[in-house]
Amino acid sequence: MFTAGCSVPRVFAKFSFPRLHLSSIHRNSMRGLTVDALNPAILNVQYAVRGELAIKAEEYRVQLKSGEPHDLPFTKVISSNIGNPQQAGLDQPPITFNRQIAALMEWPPLAELARDAFPEDAIARAKELQSEIGSIGAYSHSQGVPFIRKNVARFIEERDGYPSNPNHVFLTTGASAGVTLLISMLIANPKSGILIPIPQYPLYTATLAAHKGVGIPYHLNEEADWATSTPDIEAAIRKAVEQDGIVPKALVIINPGNPTGSLLDEATMRQVVRLCERHDLVLLADEVYQANLHARDTHPFTSFKKVVRALGSSVPLVSFHSISKGVTGECGRRGGYFECANISEDIIALMYKMVSIGLCPPLAGQVGVDCMVRPPRPGDASYALWKAETDATHAALAQRTKTMAARLNALPGVSCVDSPGALYLFPRVRLSAAAIEAARKLGKQPDTLYALELLDDTGICVVPGSGFGQKDGQYHYRLTCLCPGVEEYVGALERFHRKFVERYGGV
């Protein structure tokens, strides 16, 4: 199972991913350190979320901030390209309780010096953490503070109703670090492949490229609200094995989805687990958006851990979670965890060896994980405020998602699945032959042209669908539902779209 292979992700060649611009790099700028002399896998890495659009948006932001006269037709740049809730302009307020704990952990004397600023449960919680951790300026256990791992395991048990072993929980520097570790361990020879949903969050293809792994794409079904289809995964496996001689090692599921916002139902999850059993695959369940649900009653989240245990399955499962998303939104603290189920102790020991090279995840992130898995409970002094803050963030996200999807769907040539989860919408835009030709002349993907003109016209930065993968001849873009002032924001999107259609013609 964990004896894998390694190769370049050629299987992805038919999908459109923008390339890094290397022209600005001086190929022979330093003796001995030239681009040509580097690990070639690095040159294959592409990461659209922070690519061309984000770079240009940053230039505009600097230009606007400089106060110099400019001829930009907007007064601010809106970062709709990245799910970074607390970023300036998106301004999701941090949860007060979490920040109180963070402050007290940073400087314990605050508990006495500013006693009135902290509710008693926050002071008690911080003291408990201090006695378990000591100074947060010290390295911790490489797998994460044992006390916090126990709290994570309890959170998982309460969520799923099945036991969780704290020794099989790894605290990480965000979910990204856990994903990278798993991919690095699974890709061991040029034939190892990992099944990746299309569209996908580019962490997966980028990390696979860096580790010379093969991505095996399987398409999500846009017509069925971006559903995951096990027959389509089977077909992707057959093609990879029979035509390309690849050995599939693992299946990535992102649930709720990024960029699609889709949510798996339990029947599909059971089929996915059975498929992993049939094909001897490790299931990598990216569940970082598990708390971002816009219609909990009709679209609840179920973890893969629960489904695997309910089925009595022995499929090896690694589930990822993060403090970056949900209503916590603490991306910059870099906290997350993964839990291993049905994974042998010798593999866990190897994971431990690998994480210990990095010494430990940031303590601020570990404390953030503790706050996420141990929020205030009814009866605690902090509960009322915590509830009000988290309810407000959930409600704002749900309302923006609904408004944006409805308004986008009303535009000519645009269709948008109204997502039940995560932080994004992924509208499809039908582009005319003239728009496609204009993009070709510029050497750009058509949806990149659309996104660049949107940025130039409105200051709104989105990510072209080609950065996530999409079917040939289809064009999308991803935008976050995190921007306040949704009326103004969607109004600008609408005006731009109509102008674009006037300029290039509609479909």
Residue 329 CB, shortest distance to ligand PLP, in Å, is 10
Which three-class secondary structure string do you get for 265-295? CHHHHHHHHHHHHHHCCEEEEECCCCCCECC
- 329 binds ligand PLP, rule: CB under 6 A: no
- 254 binds ligand PLP, rule: CB under 6 A: yes
Within 9-68, the residues that bind ligand PLP by CB under 6 A are: none
Instruction: Kindly determine how many residues on this chain lie close enough to bind ligand PLP according to the rule CB under 6 A.
Output: 14
For residue 309, give the amino acid letter. R
- 258 binds ligand PLP, rule: CB under 6 A: yes
**Interacting span for ligand PLP (CB under 6 A) from 13-21, 23-31, 174-182, 351-359:** 174-182
- 175 binds ligand PLP, rule: CB under 6 A: yes
If residue 194 lies in a helix (H) or strand (E), which one and from where to where? strand 192-198
Residue 178 CB, shortest distance to ligand PLP, in Å, is 8
- 176 binds ligand PLP, rule: CB under 6 A: yes
- 324 binds ligand PLP, rule: CB under 6 A: yes
User: Which CB sits closer to ligand PLP, 18 or 174?
Assistant: 174
Interface mask (CB under 6 A) for ligand PLP, residues 197-236, using x and -?
Answer: ----x-x---------------------------------
Residue 356: CB partners within 8 Å, gap ≥ 6? 142
Whether residue 382 contacts residue 122, with contact meaning beta carbons closer than 8 Å, is answered with yes
Residue 422 CB, shortest distance to ligand PLP, in Å, is 8
Q: Which tokens belong to 381?
A: 């002094």
Residue 395: CB partners within 8 Å, gap ≥ 6? none
Instruction: Measure the N-to-C terminal CA separation of the chain; round to a whole number of Å.
Output: 48
Name which of 132, 195, 191, 202 is nearest 366 in CA terms.
132
Among 4, 95, 206, 331, which residue sits at the site for ligand PLP (rule: CB under 6 A)?
A: 331
User: Which CB sits closer to ligand PLP, 122 or 254?
Assistant: 254
- 121 binds ligand PLP, rule: CB under 6 A: no
User: Which CB sits closer to ligand PLP, 123 or 208?
Assistant: 208
Q: What is the DSSP letter of 93?
A: P
CA distance 372 to 114: 24
- 183 binds ligand PLP, rule: CB under 6 A: no
- Give the residue closest to ligand PLP by C-beta: 174
**Interacting span for ligand PLP (CB under 6 A) from 116-124, 143-151, 171-179, 399-407:** 171-179
Angle (CA) 329 335 338, round 5°: 115
User: Which CB sits closer to ligand PLP, 174 or 213?
Assistant: 174
Interface mask (CB under 6 A) for ligand PLP, residues 336-355, using x and -?
Answer: x-------------------
For residue 78, give the amino acid letter. I
Count of helices and strands (H, E) across the chain: 17, 14
Give, in order, the Cα–Cα distances in Å from 161 to each of 147, 164, 168, 307, 339.
Answer: 20, 9, 17, 11, 15
User: Which CB sits closer to ligand PLP, 195 or 246?
Assistant: 195
CA distance 26 to 22: 8
Within 131-170, the residues that bind ligand PLP by CB under 6 A are: none
CA distance 252 to 66: 43
For residue 127, give the amino acid letter. K
CA distance 469 to 205: 10
Strand partners, 306: none
For residue 414, give the amino acid letter. V
User: Which CB sits closer to ligand PLP, 104 or 203?
Assistant: 203
- 301 binds ligand PLP, rule: CB under 6 A: no
Interface mask (CB under 6 A) for ligand PLP, residues 74-103, using x and -?
Answer: ---------x--------------------
Name which of 347, 324, 386 is nearest 100 in CA terms.
386
User: Which CB sits closer to ligand PLP, 5 or 329?
Assistant: 329
Chain residues that interact with ligand PLP, rule: CB under 6 A:
83, 174-176, 201, 203, 254, 258, 286, 288, 322, 324, 331, 336
